[in-house]
Structure formats: structure tokens, C-alpha cells
Amino acid sequence: MKQPSLQMTDAQRSSTIAAVFCITLGVIYCIMTSLLPQAAVGMPNAPKVFPYALGFSLTGLGIGLLIQQILSIRQNSPKTEVKEKSETVTVDYHTKQILLTVANGVLYALLFKKLGYVLSTTLFLGLELFLFNGKGKWKVVLAVSVIFSLFIYILFNKLLGVYLPMMPVVGF
Amino acid sequence: MDSILQLMHGFTVALQPMNIMWVTIGGVLGTIIGMLPGLGPATGVAVLLPLTFSMGPVAALITMGGVYYGAMYGGSRASILLNTPGDGAAVAATFDGYPMTKQGRAEAALAISAIASFIGGVIATVFMVLVSVPVARFAIKFGAAEYFQLYVFALAATASMNKGNRVKGFIAMIIGLMIATIGIDAQSGVKRFTFGILELQSGIDFLIVIIAIFALGEVFKSFKNIREGKANIQKDFGKIWISRKEWKRSVLPILRSAPLGFFIGALPGAGGTMASLMSYNNERQLSKHPEEFGEGAIEGLAAPESANNAASVGAMIPMLTLGIPGSGTTAVMMGALMILGLKPGPLLFQQQPTIIWGLIASMFLGNIILAIVNIPLAGGLVRVLSVPPKILYPIVLGLSFVGAYAISYSVMDFYILLIFGVLGYLMGKAKIPTSPLILAVIVGNNMEQSFRRAFTISDGTLGIFFSSPICIVLFALTIISVGYPLVKSAILAAKNQS
Amino acid sequence: MRRMRRMSRIMMIIAAAAIMLTASTAVFANGQGEASAENYPSGNLDFVAPGGAGGGWDLTIRTTAKALKDTKLVNVPMPVRNNPGAGGSVHLASLQEMKGEDRTITVYSSPLLLTKLNGTTDLGHNDVTPLACLIADYASFVVAANSPYNSMADIMNALKNDIKSVKIGGNSSAGSMDHLQFLLMAKAAGVQNLNQIDYVSFDDSAVAQVLGGHIDLFSTGLSEIASLVESGDLKALGQTAGHRVGTGVIAEIQTCKEQGIDATFINWRGIFGPPEMPEYAVTYWRNTLKELVQTDEWAQAKTTNGWDDAYMDAPEFAEFLDQANADYESILKEIGMIK
């Protein structure tokens, strides 16, 4: 490969990754489709036709996107790359925040039924507010998360009849 | 003229003070419920069921009607202000409504949404009085092949409206269709892509995907802006109203979208989501400045708002005239009617004219009251934007999770929410549009199933897809909606070269 | 006079609201159901429809709760919640976490058996406690008013001549109730190659499809088509009870048995408790439900909804479930949906 083709703008990089992702997903999806059982009624392969079409289309579109990106990278002018680099630091911060939010969400899902709505939500919201605000404002964080959980719980359980899980033992 | 007389009688029913009170209470409650993500009109009506049991059938039906329209009004509030649609019908309101909010035009957005909903609702109610029976008779002409063509048309129009890279629009659409294949295949009973998870057997609810991609995606996107203090807090709020210029731009789209929404709503199974998305596509293609769509074009908000309210009126038609629930919400209402001792069906108009015409009259009334209530209500709601994003965004997350739980009572949906939230964020980064994915998730399963229904019914001949005038018209519309942008850009390119 | 009625209506609503509020406080007081034999039931009960709002299960459990309240047979609050998913299997799974509890009351019908048979779940009728069968609906087969078919025999003969000639539509997915009930009749009528019959599953819009002439025959529940048969838009060819059911046009529909097809299909709906429900609670519900089915309120609810009486006490009901399960299994084996 020529030297310029390795340097790409942020947009090109993410598009290329997306293209590779699509190709991979398309292939995996096709393999999974081939493993589906046959239908007992009607035509045996009827449930597979549409998924196959989707799998092949996605693979094809992924290849198309990849070619598009390779062509545009070749035409790259070196000027566009300079300013992109400064952003990498914040992107890392950003990714970290997202991963932490996802982890917090998983924790929430695990505790939701065990702790009941009010406790688990206070915890989830508290952690999330902390992620956004940092250590300084713990009073605000605490107040918002407790009030929100109680408010929603009462609104849903008492007024709307949409039952959220209760806390064990205490029954709230 | 007979129906006009009966409508007059209906008004005497609806205008009784108690019934006015019920429609107001229903409307306000509905608006509040509709604003919560995941809680749409269907949940709203279901939640209030126990309350309506203690009323007479007329009052019960009128209250439920109020809740229904209220929830439709409320659903778009959250779309406009927080990019968090409460239900499918409110998705299209995010396309231009949220950009307007970002530009500091939330007041105009909220105002046009109320005005468009009002006009759409009233026009649809007039249609209901005049043409409900012929429309119901026409709607049953839609067989599997016609539905397939309709879904293809809606999908093709949305996928091809992507401004930037057309390949990416289609990628989003295919991924959406893949999501829609998860679950039990109704035609064969085969389980597809469920990974042995019980909750996945009935498929992934499109509302979860919508909440994930819009609300979570928005929060994920915002981390950087918030840290750098770029996220803006709105401090000054104007009056909830629109300028003369904005009105001029919106009036035709509102008037055009109402009949479209009314008719799509009357098709069993199509509903408000399809209606609003189709009217959005429609206006975008008719517009003189399509490039403004998605950047805060007021007509891009006015059209779907008018259409989805008209659709909620249209959805009553199959229920009242044929006893077929046209949507999730009308299914709940039908259940309620049966508990109250009424039999929805073709004879309802003859057997219970007081109830039916009272309901229709209360639709007029409900729309007027909701418009009156909503404009001052919006004045208070808009102040949500003065909450600092550092506090507001975590709350949006909290609302998203509780909304997801309310849809299916399952924690499994939390994981699905997180997965699609990340997907939505990554799609944004790769500049892949999300709206084709959303629509594909909504119509994907129906589209495949309709195709296979038609294929079975015709013993495997493809001719059925072109066997009726409806099919051919829809197919032509598909060709136009895909071809027109291509031709237009080709002409533009030719002009630029010369 | 009118004002009086209005006033009483307001009072009722205020009362209902008050009940709802006190009810929800009561649940906090003894939410964990430490109730015992003497004071059962106390606190809130937990009525669950394993399907979405507006469906058949939802309607049944809400009607039951309303009748229990109206007749004052049960004087504690009975809030109804929905726990939908996978044809009721999601709720079935969550019931397993409530082993031995006494507050949760659920409705189920034929899909309780079918979901286990078609492999959706490993749980079946042995993983819940049957309390009583309340009502039955039956299958009915309807065609458009202008259809050339006028009897079940017409349909079966057409199928015997050309197995692809009649397109059957229903709302449930292939291998589920609407499909199965027709196959049971076709089998009894002597139709061969049952798995070759074209069955088209529509989400919930199959009525519109048969009205529009897109499918030939709609296989559904008897109670669902009453208004369209009455108005003359649909023609009912037969129903699957052992006797004539209901009143008016419904009572005029011939049974399949009368037409020489020796088979019946009952879509029973019964009330169930969680697995290993305590003895005192089982006794309480058996007695209460037995009383309920004899009240006028219940009779009224049955007429309105077109439900047929099918009351069975718990022991009889359990036997019935075993028998029905065996019937379904044999037909599903025959069409190859289970190996």
C-alpha cells in the first residue's frame, strides 16, 4: 500500500470500520440463517429466503461502502488530516464515559428486580449523575436521584397502575 | 344529511357538562402519559380502564377518546424537547422538531405541533362523519399483496431520502430489517435468531429500539459537548406561538397530511407511525427546499403532527364500523367496550347511535379542548430546557429505562436498550442515518409476512403483486419516490457542468 | 333525576379512587403475603394477564376481577397487570419464581399447552396450579357473505379434491390455535396430507382479509365474529362445540358434529395459581370461583362476551388438561411440527 492510503480523516476511518462491520455481520447472519430449522408446514425453506436476501444485501452494501472509502482515501489531500488529530484525546474520554454508562446500565439491570425500583434507580441515577458532574455536587446528585426514583415509583405504581418492582422486606 | 342530524344529537350528548369534564380530564391525563417515553396511547387507555368501568359507556368512551388524543399530543412534546419519542407516531416529530429546539425555536415547534394536531384531528373528524363507511369498505380491499406494496413504498421513500451517502441509507435499512426478523416466524412457527432467549420470541419491540437510538444515542453523543460546556441552556423563553411566515409554510402541508393520515390510520395494522412517516416523506418531496428538512424545517414538523392525529381518528373506523381493531390503542378500547357490554361491529351505528355520535362529537370537542390546554401547558414544559444538561440527561436515561420496563415488564429490554443505544451512537459517528433503520424495524416483519402471505395465497405466482389497481398505483409511487431524487440530482449535475 | 344519577356517578368514582389509593397503601403493609389460612385473602391480590392489554386473556381476567368485586365475593383490591411475551411463556417463567405464594392469580387457555408442545418453553400445565376452568369459547369457521362455500362439507370436499384450493387464514401463528383447530376438524373429516393445507397467519387483521375476499376461510373464536355474522357480512359454516351455543345468530350456527365431522374443539379459559400454591389458598379460590359462576353478574358477563359455561372444579380440570394435551400432541406430530 502507498503511504497516503494509511492516513484517513475521522469520517473515513469510521466509515471504513462500518463497512468492515457490515461485511462481517452480513456473513455471520447468512451462516446463522443456514442453521435455521426447516419449516414443517408450507415450503420448507420459506423462513430462510428473506434472511438470506438481507444477509447478502448487507455484505454487498458493505463491500460497496469499503470500495467507496478506499477510492476517497486515495484522493485524500493531506491538509484535512491535521486538525483531526487534536480530537483523539476527547474521543477517548468520550468512549470511556459511554462504556461506564453501559456498565452502569448492566448493573442496573442486574439489581433492578433484586433491590426493587426505588433503590436500584437511586443507585443508577446517582452513579450516572456522578459521571456527568464529578465529585463536587454530591448533594445535588443525591437529591435528584432520590426524588426522581420516588416520584416515578409513586406515579407509576399508585396512579398509573404500571407496577414496578418493590423493595424486598420493606415492601416499597 | 342524516348523519349531520345525528351529529347534532351527538353534540347534545358531548356537551353535557360531565362529558366535557371527562374529555378534559382524559385529555390532560393522556398528555402527561404520552410525554413519558414508552407510554403511548395504548398504555394510557389501558391504565385508565379500571376507572372507566364505574362510568356509563358514553362517559367511558369519551374519556378514553380524550386519553387517546391527549397521548398523541403529549407524545410529540418529548420528541421535540428531548429527542425522546413516547411512541411510534411521535418519531417523525423528532426529525425537525428537535433541530428546531436546538436552534432555540422550541416555542414555535411546540406551537405548530399543537396547531397541526388540532387541524389534523378536526379535518379527520369531518371525514369520519362523511365517509367512514366507504372508507372502511375500501380499506378491506387491501390484501396481503397491497400491504406488501404499501410497506415497500414507505421503506423505499425513507431510505432514499438520505441526503448524504445513499449506500449508508440502505445499510441502515437492511440492519433494521434484520432486527425485525428476530422472533417466531408466524407463517411457519420457526424461531429465528432468538439465541434461546424467551423474551426474544415475540420479537424486539420497535419502541425499545426507538427509545434506545433516539434518547440513549442523544445522551451518548452529548458527553463531549457537556464537558466542554458547549451544550446550551435556554434561559429566555418566548411566547408559544408562530410567526406569519412560519404559518404560511406550514398550512398546506398540514392540510395535505390530514387526509393521508386519516386514510392510513383507517387501514388495520398500518397506524399513526406509518402515517406520520409517509406524510413527512411526502412533504419533503413536494418541498421547494428539501435540503432544510432535518435541519429544523417547520413544515417537516407540521405535516407528521397533522397526519398522526388524523390517523388516530381514522383508526376508530375499522373498530366502529367492522369491529376490527385498527391499532394497539383501538384494540384496548374495543376490549373496554366489550367489558362495558357493547358489541363493536357493523350494527353499532344502528343499535347505539347515541354512543357513537356522542363519541364523534366529543372528538371535535376533545381536539378543541386539547389545543386550548396544550398551548399554556407547553409554556411550562418548554422550561425543561433550562435544566442544565448535566442533570437533564441522566434523568432522560432514567425515564428511558422505566419506559422500556413499562412496555414489556422485562429487564431483558434494559440490555437491548443499551445495545441499540451504542449502535445508535456509532451510526451517528459513521454518518449512517437512523430513520431508515427505525422504519425498517417498524414495518420489516409485516413486509416479509405480507410477502409470504401473498405468495401462499397465489400458490407461488408473483403476478398477485400487480393484480389490482391499488398494487399498481403503490408500485408506481415506489418507483417515483426512488427514481425522482436520482433524476433530480442527475439534472442538477448536468446543469452544473454546462 | 338526571342530576342525581350524575351525582352518584361522581361518588362512585371518588369511591373507586379512594379504594385504589388505600389499596396501594395496603400492598406496602403486607406486600410479601405473609397471610395465613385464617385471614386469607388480606392485602392486595395480584391478578395477571399473561398477554397484552386488549387481548382475550386480558378481557377474561379483568371481567373476572370486576365480577368478583361487583358480587362482593372478594373484598380486597384486585389490581390487574399485564405480563405479556412469547404466548404467555414469559409469565409462566416468572410464576416459577413465586413457588408457594398465594397472592398471584392468572388466566390461561389452550396456548398454555401449545407453547410447551411447540418448544417455546419447557414449562406447561404441570408447572402451575389449576384452580378452576371458567369458560369456554369454541372455534368457528367463517367465510365472506358471497363465498361459494356453504357448509363445512363443501370446504372439506374442496380440500380433498385439491389440497391447495382453500386458503385458511387465522390470527395466531402456524402451529398455534387457529391453525390447529381447523386441522383437528380436517383430520376428523378424513382429509389427507394435513401439512399441505395452506394456512396463512395474519397478525390480528384476518377478519378484514376474509371480508375483503383475500382468503377463503377464517378460522377463529366463536365469540369474535358475532357482530359480523349478525350484520350479514360473514357467513358462519360451523362451530366446534358439542352443542349449539349462545343466542340469536350464534345459536343458528351448526356444530361440526351435526355436519358429520366427529370432533370438538374447546378453547377453555381457566384460572391458575403459582406452582405449589398453599392448600388454604387453593381451597379458597375453588370455593369462591364455584360461587362466582352461579351469580347473575357472571351470567351477564358471559352473555355479553359470548362465552359458554365450562365450569370445572380443580381436580376435573386437571384431568381435562391432560387429555387435551394428548390430543394436541397427536395432531402436531401428524403435521410434523413436533418430531
Let me know if residue B471 belongs to a domain.
no
Q: Which pLDDT value is given to residue A76?
A: 65
Q: Which pLDDT value is given to residue A81?
A: 46
> Which percentage of chain C shows pLDDT scores above 90?
21
Q: Which pLDDT value is given to residue B123?
A: 93
Size of interface A-B (CB pairs under 8 A): 161
For residue range B206-249, list pLDDT tens digits in order: 888 988 988 888 888 887 777 666 666 676 777 777 888 888 88
Using the Cβ of B45 and the Cβ atoms of chain A, whether some distance falls under 8 Å is answered with no
pLDDT above 60 (res C18): no
Q: Which pLDDT value is given to residue B317?
A: 86
Nearest to A171 among C32, C79, C336 (CB): C32
pLDDT above 80 (res C304): no
pLDDT confidence tier of residue A14, bands split at 50, 70 and 90: confident
Let me know if residue B97 belongs to a domain.
yes
Interface with chain B: mutation pick from C114, C135, C173, C307, highest number of B CBs within 10 Å: C173
Show which subunits contact B, needing at least 3 CB pairs below 8 angstroms. A, C
Q: Which pLDDT value is given to residue C160?
A: 93
pLDDT above 50 (res C15): no
Least Cα separation, residue C198 to chain B (angstroms): 7
Tell me what the pLDDT averaged over chain B comes to.
84
Residue with cell 461506564: A100
For residue range B55-86, list pLDDT tens digits in order: 777 888 888 888 888 888 888 888 888 888 87
Q: Which pLDDT value is given to residue C54?
A: 63
Let me know if residue B77 belongs to a domain.
yes
Let me know if residue B491 belongs to a domain.
no
Q: Which pLDDT value is given to residue A27?
A: 95
Verify whether the Cβ–Cβ distance C24 to A169 is below 8 Å.
Answer: no
Least Cα separation, residue A31 to chain C (angstroms): 23
- Fold match, C40-136+268-331 / C138-266: yes
Residues of chain A neighbouring B398 (CB-CB closer than 8 A): 121, 124-125, 128, 148-149, 152
- Grid coordinates belonging to B31: 398528555
pLDDT confidence tier of residue A91, bands split at 50, 70 and 90: low
Q: Which pLDDT value is given to residue C24?
A: 43
Q: Which pLDDT value is given to residue C314?
A: 85
Interface with chain C: mutation pick from A43, A150, A157, A163, highest number of C CBs within 10 Å: A163
**Average pLDDT of span C146-174:** 92
> Any idea where the domains of chain C sit in the sequence?
40-136+268-331, 138-266
Residues of chain A neighbouring B414 (CB-CB closer than 8 A): 105-106, 108-109, 112
Domain C40-136+268-331 sits in CATH at 3.40.190.150
For residue C235, what is the enclosing H or E element?
Answer: strand C234-239
Q: Which pLDDT value is given to residue A78?
A: 53
Verify whether the Cβ–Cβ distance A160 to B39 is below 8 Å.
Answer: yes
Number of domains in chain B: 1
Tell me what the pLDDT averaged over chain C comes to.
82
For residue C106, what is the enclosing H or E element?
Answer: strand C104-109
Verify whether the Cβ–Cβ distance A171 to C27 is below 8 Å.
Answer: yes
Of B12-26, B154-168, B244-258, which one has max mean pLDDT?
Answer: B244-258
DSSP per-residue string spanning C172-228: SPTTSHHHHHHHHHHHHTT-S-GGGS-EEE-SS-HHHHHHTTSSSEEEEEGGGSHHH
Nearest to B181 among A51, A62, A97 (CB): A51
Q: Which pLDDT value is given to residue C267?
A: 87
For residue range B170-210, list pLDDT tens digits in order: 899 999 999 999 988 888 888 899 888 878 887 888 888 98
For residue range B87-98, list pLDDT tens digits in order: 778 888 888 999
Between C97 and A77, the more confident residue is C97
Nearest to A157 among C24, C179, C198 (CB): C24
Q: Which pLDDT value is given to residue A102?
A: 94
Nearest Cα residue in chain A from B224: A94
pLDDT above 50 (res C118): yes
Residue with cell 439491570: A109
- Give the 3-state secondary structure of residue C236: strand
Positive or negative: CA dihedral C299, C305, C310, C313: negative
pLDDT above 90 (res C150): yes
For residue range B124-144, list pLDDT tens digits in order: 989 988 888 888 888 888 889
- Give the 3-state secondary structure of residue C285: helix
pLDDT above 80 (res A142): yes
pLDDT above 90 (res A60): yes
DSSP per-residue string spanning C122-143: S--GGGSEEEEEEEEEEEEEEE
Interface with chain C: mutation pick from B12, B332, B453, highest number of C CBs within 10 Å: B453
Show which subunits contact A, needing at least 3 CB pairs below 8 angstroms. B, C
User: How far is it, in rounded angstroms, from Cα B93 to Cα B117?
Assistant: 11
Q: Which pLDDT value is given to residue A120?
A: 94
Least Cα separation, residue B371 to chain A (angstroms): 24
Q: Are A15 and A65 in contact (CB under 8 A)?
A: yes
pLDDT above 50 (res C264): yes
Please identify, in words, the CATH class of the domain defined by C138-266: alpha beta
> Any idea where the domains of chain A sit in the sequence?
3-84, 88-160
What ipTM goes with this model?
0.88
Q: Which pLDDT value is given to residue B418?
A: 95
User: How far is it, in rounded angstroms, from Cα C102 to Cα C100?
Assistant: 7
Using the Cβ of B414 and the Cβ atoms of chain A, whether some distance falls under 8 Å is answered with yes
Q: Which pLDDT value is given to residue A2?
A: 42
For residue range B269-322, list pLDDT tens digits in order: 667 888 888 898 888 888 888 888 888 899 999 999 999 899 988 888 888 887
pLDDT above 60 (res C69): yes
Nearest Cα residue in chain C from A163: C81
Q: Which pLDDT value is given to residue B286?
A: 84
- Grid coordinates belonging to B453: 402471505
For A:130-159, CB contacts with C below 8 A are 157-158
Mean pLDDT is lowest, of A104-108, A129-133, B172-176, C157-161, for A129-133
Let me know if residue B119 belongs to a domain.
yes
